Amino acid sequence: MVVLVINSGSSSIKFQLIRMEGRARLCAGLLERIGLNGGIFTFEPAGRDPLKRPVSIKDHSQGIALILQVIADPRVGVLGSIGEVDAVGHRVVHGGETIDKAELVTPRIEAIIEACGRLAPLHNPANLMGIRAVTALLPSVPHVAVFDTAFHATMTEEAFLFGLDYECYRRHGIRRFGFHGVSHRYVSLRAAEILGRDRKNFTCVSCHLGSGVSIAAIRNGRSVDTSLGFGTMCGVPMGTRAGDVDPAVILHLIEVLGMSTREVHQLLYFESGLKGISGLSSDMRDVERAAASGNERALLAMKVFAHGCRRHVAGLAASLGGRLDALVFTAGIGEHSQETRRLVCAGLEVLGVQLDETRNRIHGEEAVISDPSSRVSVLVVPTKEELMMAIETEEVVKGGGCRDDPPCPARPSPDP
């Protein structure tokens, strides 16, 4: 089976083409600045030099048409014809409470994606644009929506409810959803494989540390708890996002300092985190370089980041009942920053974590980096979200579903 994976943003489309036999990536690419001046199309066929050229693309439909044309181009493409594509997997950020697994795209699923646009206004509308553009051009193949929130649908009420009036949940659906589910599922499964463990008898805490950060507790292939919540601003301080903030601070900013809600949003989402604390950059690489040259605020930003990670790792280990088999690092910072991994693991000895400093000197490689004496295995697993999406797409198309776990716990549906 050949699966085309699409990640449609508001002005960009990422794609990969994967042959499921052997899990071979045939090509990958990125179309940037859709509807804007200065568009760029990048195409990376496996085993050949990448192609990069300027383009002028007015909308997602035209962008998808270009991608399909190049994939089957006799000179640079990787397929004899676009008819060799057997299925298309589409990334969708938010599925709300209704979605607990990847789903075939139907009018009902499109309506759910559209309705969840109020929960993910920057993402779901763009995801839906991509789905409609591709289905119009490839109407005869199955299309599967793979939801970032679906993996966390196995959380129980005690994990996903906030301490608000219950009516906020029942009437308005305000609860913890969790994100980065595709990444968390992939790295947890891969970690079990690396360690030779049965995933149905395996617990881990997965640390997705990138420009966005989320940490998840996973037991037997199911999400138990996670650091992100209703949206993507809470948890660990991120590149520009504040992470956990006392709600009293928000009220103080508005009621005492006179900031508007728009100004507070700008502060919490774009001016905080590594950027706000260091005063330099949202990029951990820049912050690390500055800290190494003696910049105290850069070092402080790194310490605050690591402290936030440790707090959530320890709390999520408790959500697993105290049994922790593995601690897994992934995404840009998690895969490449040995100093961040060192800082995060320092202080987690109480959980049985012992990092091997020599093994930790890796960048972007799959490896076990814990000391042989460590009770908890520590791993770096580069995330492969597109591959995981392709696997889930194949599972749905072949009728196997996406998880053979027990059904999600029953819960009341929020009022419309």
Over residues 376-382, the mean pLDDT reads 97
Mean pLDDT for the chain overall: 93
Q: Which residues contact 307 (CB under 8 A, 6 or more apart)?
A: none
Residue 209 and residue 123 in one domain: no
Q: Tell me phi and psi for residue 280, to 5 degrees.
A: -120, -60
Distances (CA, A) of 177 to 100, 151, 207: 11, 10, 17
Over residues 79-90, the mean pLDDT reads 95
Rounded distance between C-alpha atoms, residue 152 and residue 134, angstroms: 27
Residue 203 and residue 116 in one domain: no
Residue 105 and residue 245 in one domain: no
Which of 4-8, 35-39, 85-89 bottoms out in mean pLDDT, i.e. has the lowest?
A: 35-39
Structure confidence at residue 411 as a pLDDT band (50, 70, 90): very low
pLDDT digits (tens, 9 = 90+) for 256-312: 999 999 999 999 999 999 999 999 999 999 999 999 999 999 999 999 999 999 999
Nearest to 191 by CA among 211, 179, 206: 206
Residue 262 and residue 339 in one domain: yes
pLDDT at 416 over 50: no
Residue 127 and residue 207 in one domain: no
Residue 198 and residue 115 in one domain: no
Model confidence pTM above 0.85: yes
Residue 188 and residue 337 in one domain: yes
Domain containing residue 260: CATH number: 3.30.420.40
pLDDT (0 to 100) of residue 9? 87
Q: Tell me phi and psi for residue 206, to 5 degrees.
A: -100, 125
Decide if 388 is inside a domain.
no
Residue 223 and residue 136 in one domain: no
pLDDT digits (tens, 9 = 90+) for 177-192: 999 999 999 999 999 9
Helix residue ranges, H only, 296-410: 296-319, 331-336, 338-345, 385-397
Decide if 294 is inside a domain.
yes
Q: Are 133 and 64 in contact, with CB atoms under 8 Å apart?
A: yes
Q: Tell me phi and psi for residue 162, to 5 degrees.
A: -90, 165
Q: List, by residue number, the catalytic residues.
A: 148
pLDDT digits (tens, 9 = 90+) for 236-247: 999 999 999 999
Residue 130 and residue 190 in one domain: no
Residue 193 and residue 308 in one domain: yes
Over residues 388-412, the mean pLDDT reads 68
Decide if 216 is inside a domain.
yes
Decide if 164 is inside a domain.
no
Residue 115 and residue 253 in one domain: no
pLDDT (0 to 100) of residue 225? 97
Rounded distance between C-alpha atoms, residue 181 and residue 302, angstroms: 25
pLDDT (0 to 100) of residue 409? 37
Over residues 57-66, the mean pLDDT reads 92
Q: Which domain holds residue 46?
A: 2-150
pLDDT digits (tens, 9 = 90+) for 329-352: 999 999 999 999 999 999 999 999
Number of domains in the chain: 2
Decide if 82 is inside a domain.
yes
pLDDT (0 to 100) of residue 11? 86
Decide if 332 is inside a domain.
yes
pLDDT (0 to 100) of residue 165? 97
Decide if 405 is inside a domain.
no
pLDDT (0 to 100) of residue 10? 82
pLDDT (0 to 100) of residue 212? 92
Residue 66 and residue 145 in one domain: yes
Decide if 67 is inside a domain.
yes
Nearest to 68 by CA among 40, 41, 93: 41
Write the DSSP symbol of residue 117: G
